[in-house]
Structure 1
Amino acid sequence: MFFSIIIPLYNRPEEIRELLQSLLRQSYKDFEVIVVEDGSTVPAKTIVEGFKEDLDIHYFEKKNEGQGFARNYGFERAHGAYFIVFDSDILVPEDYLAIVKESIDEEGWDAFGGPDAAHDSFSTIQKAISYSMTSPFTTGGIRGNKNHVGQFHPRSFNMGISRNVWESTGGYKLSRRSEDIEFSIRMINSGFKVGLISEAFVYHKRRTSLNQFFKQIYNFGKGRIDIAQIYPSELKAVHALPAVFTLGVLGLFILNIVDLLLFNDVVLLHYLVWLGDLFLFSFVVLLLWHSTMVTKSFRVGLFSVVTAFIQLMAYGFGFMRNYIDRVLLRKDTSV
């Protein structure tokens, strides 16, 4: 057995059906699938067992402890030389495992990650979220990009580790919120060879509503401060940019109101407001143009402007909130 695919699951039975259907089409066949139901109230046991004749699949149920510990539970029961971690909301291209196997043979990875993309079947919002999560104007294009700055940190929607990494590190130490970043940092600090397989992408559905997306990214922002509490050197100036952007947008909104109340009589204030509005308008136009070109859809481009602002500001709010709580007020808000 070369690959063990570990999938934590929480109340997403229909998603796991689509993921398993995509695994049926893999050109490389030497793998097992381990589904760990993490205390779901809407279990997927019947759906998973429906694939037993076509996949080497194993279904386990445990109490809810979060995705990090659910993955550890799967690692403990895996038989493969390499463990691949997927989120339940992805689809896997048919040559994924073949690409990963070839890269491992050539590069000797101890751990790896791959990028994500939007499938043609995804909704407009899902495509817009996918764009904003990979855009050079929001994340710097660093997620799954060959030209990423600094050491690549695999993310657990599409991530693999060798059995040796699991046995040496003990797996995830955090169960929720930035658990994958902490694990990646610990693997790298332990001297393992960790890298990006840029061709090993998956189709990532992500959140299906703007409200869910805001909550997810808000927790990402909070999680960055959690990581900094464990590894202070991992907090970089670039991580604060969404907070700076958020404060800038809010400040510009307030200045516009003040400028209107003063009837544009304060020349310096009016000039500053004009410059700020011009910058923000230019940013919106750039996002709209770039997303439309990348996704080949003006409609997706329009929604991408919304999702980009949600992403930057949700991360900024989460980052600032947890910085105040954990750094300034010394509260323990970790999960």
Structure 2
Amino acid sequence: MYYSFIVPVYNRPDEIEKLLLSISQLNYEGAFEVVIIEDGSENTCKTVCSRFRESVNINYLFKSNSGPGDSRNYGMKKANGDYFIILDSDCILPESYLNHVDRFLKKKFVDCYGGPDAAAESFSDLQKAINYSMTSFFTTGGLRGGSEALGKFQPRSFNMGLSKKAFIVTNGFSKIHPGEDPDLTIRLWKNNFETALISKAYVYHERRISWFLFYKQVNKFGMVRVILNKWHPETKKLTYWFPTLFIMGLFFSIGLLFIGQYWLILFYAIYFLLIFIESSIRNGLIVGFKSIIACIVQFYGYGTGFLLSWYKINMKKVPERTAFPNLFFK
């Protein structure tokens, strides 16, 4: 099997340099290529790519800006592989990554896989805290962290594999962003393609992020989920309401304190204590404390985004592109 790494990038040559360095150090003995899709960047990574051409088979493509989903589609159309490995530009691969993928697919082939999201020791405390919040069983059910999540596994495009056959049948990613990856996964299922988690095929996801950017990211995740529920009503789950109800309950528990009622806040205190203990064991006390903040930001951002989107789309019946034009590329 010939693999093509598909990496869209927008104004981030420094991230591409780290990613290509990690790819050049893979211990996989087979041939593969790396397709870099420059999505209309002003600060391009062309020079960075040229420095790695002797150690990595790179196909550098420049195109006008159309978003990450369309850029991935463009790259897959130009790629030579029969299996595509889609990565975000801010990922770093461990040297055994491709070996784990190849062994898994040779043993149990699937047309789409996803791998976990991990934090390297070099990451900042904030990056580690956000990584914990995004991957912990206590916050997301281990959806991104390599746990066997409830129900079918939905790969995410920061670390995702897709066969050429599946790409041709589904036409790849849609114009929505974020949310293009779960939308693709659902369409894969509808076309009888299987997905799987390869727990050993993790990447170090070095998000360039702040508290505010994290909030904006998860807020969009919440908005998009309602749109996906509209497009694919058979995928609706009550659990998607959990962040909204969690935040409403937290505010209500704080209000109860003013009338001397402490029972509800105790449940939240126990929950936050469990997060603090688990994250501190993994990452230290400072990250443990910041993980509590990350959890609150994540649930507040996602929960309020979900509620707003649900109100506009389901109650006011506003078309999704009219309600949230910033979530769609033309």
> What interval of TM-score do these two structures reach, taking the shorter chain for normalisation?
over 0.9
Aligned with 1:195: secondary structure? strand
Q: Determine if the alignment matches structure 1 residue 270 to structure 2 residue 239.
A: no
Pick closer, same or farther for the CA change 1:35–1:175 going to 2, 3 Å: farther
1:264 match = none
- Mapped to 1, the partners of 2:308 and 2:35 lie a distance apart of 37
| Residue 106 of structure 2: aligned partner | 105
Corresponding position of 2:274: 286
Does the 8 A contact of 1:144 with 1:196 survive in 2? no
Distance (Å, rounded) in 1 between the aligned partners of 2:105 and 2:265: 49
- The structure with more radius of gyration: 1
CA displacement 1:133-157 (0-9 Å, x = unmatched)? 1112210223343431111111101
Deviation at 1:159, TM superposition (A): 0.3
Distance of aligned partners of 1:244 and 1:108 in 2 relative to their CA distance in 1, 3 Å threshold: same
Report the Cα distance in structure 2 between the residues aligned to 1:281 and 1:150, rounded to whole angstroms.
29
Mapped to 2, the partners of 1:175 and 1:38 lie a distance apart of 16
Q: Distance in 1 between matches of 2:21 and 2:313?
A: 43
Superposition pairs for residues 73-88 of structure 1, below 5 Å?
73-88=74-89
Q: Is the 8 A contact 1:5 1:33 kept in 2?
A: yes
142-151 or 307-316, which moves further after superposition? 142-151
Is contact 2:117–2:146 with CA below 8 Å preserved after alignment? no
Contact 1:291–1:301 under 8 Å retained in 2: yes
Q: How many angstroms apart in 2 are the aligned matches of 1:13 and 1:319?
A: 33
| Structure 2 counterparts to residues 49-68 of structure 1, below 5 A | 49-68=50-69
Q: What is the rounded CA distance, in whole Å, between the counterparts of 1:3 and 1:141 in structure 2?
A: 27
Size of the aligned set, in residue pairs, is 321
**Hey, what does 1:321 align to over in structure 2?**
308
Structure 1 residue 197 corresponds to structure 2 residue 198: yes
Q: Distance in 1 between matches of 2:139 and 2:104?
A: 29
Question: 1:175, CA displacement in angstroms?
Answer: 4.0
Whole-angstrom CA distance in 2 between matches of 1:277 and 1:255: 8
2:289 paired with 1:302: yes
| Structure 1 position 255, deviation (Å) | 4.1
CA distance in 1, matches of 2:103, 2:132: 28
CA contact (8 A) 2:6 2:87 kept: yes
Give the % identical residues. Answer: 39
Kept in 2, the 8 Å contact 1:65–1:175? The answer is no
Deviation, 1:246, is 1.4
Asked whether the equivalents of residues 118 and 145 of structure 2 are also in contact (C-alpha less than 8 Å), the reply is no
- Give the aligned partner of residue 7 of structure 1: 7
State the one-letter code of the partner of 2:100.
I
Q: How big is each residue's C-alpha offset from its partner over 1:267-307, in whole Å with a ceiling of 9 and x where there is no partner?
A: xx423xx1122222222222111111122x11111111111
Q: Is 2:175 the counterpart of 1:185?
A: no
Secondary structure (helix, strand or coil) at the match of 1:155 reads coil
**What residue in structure 2 maps to residue 163 of structure 1?**
164
Q: Which SS does the other structure have where 2:59 is aligned?
A: strand
- In structure 2, how many angstroms separate the alpha carbons of the residues matched to 1:145 and 1:76? 29
Q: Distance in 2 between matches of 1:151 and 1:277?
A: 34
CA distance in 1, matches of 2:53, 2:146: 36
Q: TM-score, normalised by structure 1?
A: 0.92
Shift in Å, 1:16: 0.9
The residue type paired with residue 65 of structure 1 is: S
Contact 2:6 2:35 in 1 (8 A): yes
SS of the aligned residue for 1:120 comes to coil
**Which consecutive residues of structure 2, in runs of 5 or more, have no partner in the other structure?**
322-327
The more displaced of 52-61 and 89-98 is 52-61
Asked whether the 8 Å contact 2:137–2:147 carries over to 1, the reply is no
Q: 2:148 is matched with which residue?
A: 147
Q: Which deviates further from its counterpart, 203-212 or 143-152?
A: 143-152
CA positional deviation for 1:170: 1.0
The root-mean-square deviation of aligned C-alpha atoms, in Å, is 1.4
**3-state SS of paired residue (2:295):** helix
Measured in 1, the distance between the counterparts of 2:161 and 2:72 equals 12
Aligned to 1:266: none
**Residues 295-334 of structure 1: CA distance to partner in whole angstroms, max 9, x if unpaired?**
2x11111111111111111110111111111111122334
Q: In 2, distance between residues paired with 1:147 and 1:77?
A: 34
* Deviation (angstroms), 1:251: 2.6
The alignment partner of 1:138 has SS state of helix
Judged with a 3 Å threshold, the aligned counterparts in structure 2 of structure 1 residues 229 and 186 are, in CA distance, closer, same or farther, namely same
CA contact (8 A) 1:217 1:315 kept: yes
Q: Give the deviation of 1:37 after TM superposition.
A: 1.1
- In the alignment, does 2:57 pair up with 1:69? no
**Partner SS for 1:270:** coil
Q: What amino acid is the match of 2:308? A: R
Q: For the structure 1 residues 251 and 41, does the alpha-carbon distance in structure 2 shift closer, same or farther, using more than 3 Å as the test?
A: farther
Q: AA paired with 1:194? A: T
